Amino acid sequence: MDRMIGIDYGRARVGVAMSDPLGIFASPLETVPSAKIIDYLQKLSASQPVSRFVVGYPMNLNGRPAEAAADVDIFLRQLAKAFPQIPVSLEDERFTSVLAHRAMIDGGMKKSERRKKESVDRISAAIILQSFLDKNTEK
């Protein structure tokens, strides 16, 4: 079966996660410079069939798009142009960084590793994707 890709887009770096073939669980994959994300996704989709992109969308507590949403909107247009055949779903990314830090602590990750923003980005991407998978497999 095809895999889904979770994306935590940021102006400097992008966290990437991938689902298992059955779409049950998400695993952190990599952190990629934002300028290279489309190339990275093209190579990844050439080696693994991709059925969907799940992109974290920054929201404020009041439910309105956060300031960073403008950057994500630009990325979404690039993604749609590069992959017109692959559907994109948006997932609220509020609190994913906090959850990523908690997961790293609970998982016993060393403090020096937890300080690396790259670790937070890819774990956040996995949390975004897992949230989508959980909502869409419970039905």
pLDDT band at 26 (very low <50, low <70, confident <90, very high): very high
User: What is the tens place of the pLDDT at every residue in 107-121?
Assistant: 666 666 655 566 678
The top-level CATH class assigned to 3-137 is alpha beta
pTM: 0.85
Domain locations in the chain as residue ranges: 3-137
Cβ partners under 8 Å of residue 54, min gap 6: 4, 5, 6, 7, 88, 89, 90, 91, 128, 129, 132
More confident residue, 35 or 92: 35
Q: What is the mean pLDDT of residues 22-40?
A: 95
